[in-house]
Amino acid sequence: MADQVDIIVSEVGPRDGLQSVARIMPTAVKARWIAALAGAGLREIEVGSFVSSKRLPQMADTGEIVAASVRIPGLLVQALVPNRKGAERAIAAGTHKLTIPVSASRAHSAANVGMSPEDAIDHVREICRLRASLPARLGIEATVATAFGCTMEGPVAEDWVMRIARILAEAGVDSVGLADTTGYANPAQVKRMFTRLRREVGEFSGGAHFHNTRGQGLANVVAALDAGVTTFDSSQGGLGGCPYAPGATGNIVTEDLVFLLESMGLRTGIDIERLIAARALIAEGLPGEPLYGQVAEAGLPKGFVPASRRPAA
Q: Which residues are catalytic?
A: 242
Please state whether beta strands 175-180 and 76-80 pair in parallel, antiparallel, or not at all (unpaired): unpaired
- The binding track of 248-287 with respect to a second copy, each residue x by CB under 8 A or -, is xx---x--x--xx--xxx----------------------
Looking at the Cβ atoms of 38 and 291, the one nearer to a second copy is 291
Stretch that binds a second copy, among 2-10, 71-79, 120-128, 242-250 (CB under 8 A): 242-250
**Which of 69, 95, 181, 213 is the binder for a second copy (CB under 8 A)?**
213
**Which of 204, 210, 232, 292 is the binder for a second copy (CB under 8 A)?**
292
**Which of 129, 199, 294, 310 is the binder for a second copy (CB under 8 A)?**
294
Identify whether the C-beta of residue 194 lies closer than 8 Å to the C-beta of residue 224. Answer: yes
195 phi/psi in degrees, rounded to 5: -65, -45
* 230 near a second copy (CB under 8 A): no
Identify whether the C-beta of residue 249 lies closer than 8 Å to the C-beta of residue 298. Answer: no
168 phi/psi in degrees, rounded to 5: -65, -40
CA distances (Å), 228 to each of 189, 212, 264, 297, in order? 14, 21, 15, 30
Stretch that binds a second copy, among 21-29, 58-66, 125-133, 246-254 (CB under 8 A): 246-254
Q: Minimal distance in Å, beta carbon 253 to a second copy?
A: 7
Q: For a second copy, how many residues bind (rule: CB under 8 A)? A: 47
Q: If we measure between CA atoms, which residue out of 154, 158, 130, 132 comes closest to residue 144?
A: 158
Looking at the Cβ atoms of 166 and 214, the one nearer to a second copy is 214
Looking at the Cβ atoms of 131 and 191, the one nearer to a second copy is 191
In 57-77, which positions are buried (b, 16+ CB within 10 angstroms) versus exposed (e)?
A: ebbbbbbebbebbeebeebbb
Q: Minimal distance in Å, beta carbon 265 to a second copy?
A: 6
In terms of C-beta density within 10 A (0-12 exposed, 13-18 middle, 19 or more buried), how is residue 268 classed? buried
176-36-306 Cα angle (round to 5): 75
The rounded distance, in Å, linking the Cα atoms of 172 and 194 is: 20
Q: Minimal distance in Å, beta carbon 178 to a second copy?
A: 16
- The binding track of 170-209 with respect to a second copy, each residue x by CB under 8 A or -, is ------------xxx-xxxx--------------------
Q: Minimal distance in Å, beta carbon 191 to a second copy?
A: 9
The rounded distance, in Å, linking the Cα atoms of 239 and 249 is: 7
Identify whether the C-beta of residue 268 lies closer than 8 Å to the C-beta of residue 42. Answer: no
**Which of 181, 212, 234, 236 is the binder for a second copy (CB under 8 A)?**
212
- The binding track of 107-146 with respect to a second copy, each residue x by CB under 8 A or -, is ----------------------------------------
Q: Which residues bind a second copy (CB under 8 A)?
A: 149-155, 182-184, 186-189, 212-216, 218-219, 221-223, 226, 245-249, 253, 256, 259-260, 263-265, 292-298, 301-303
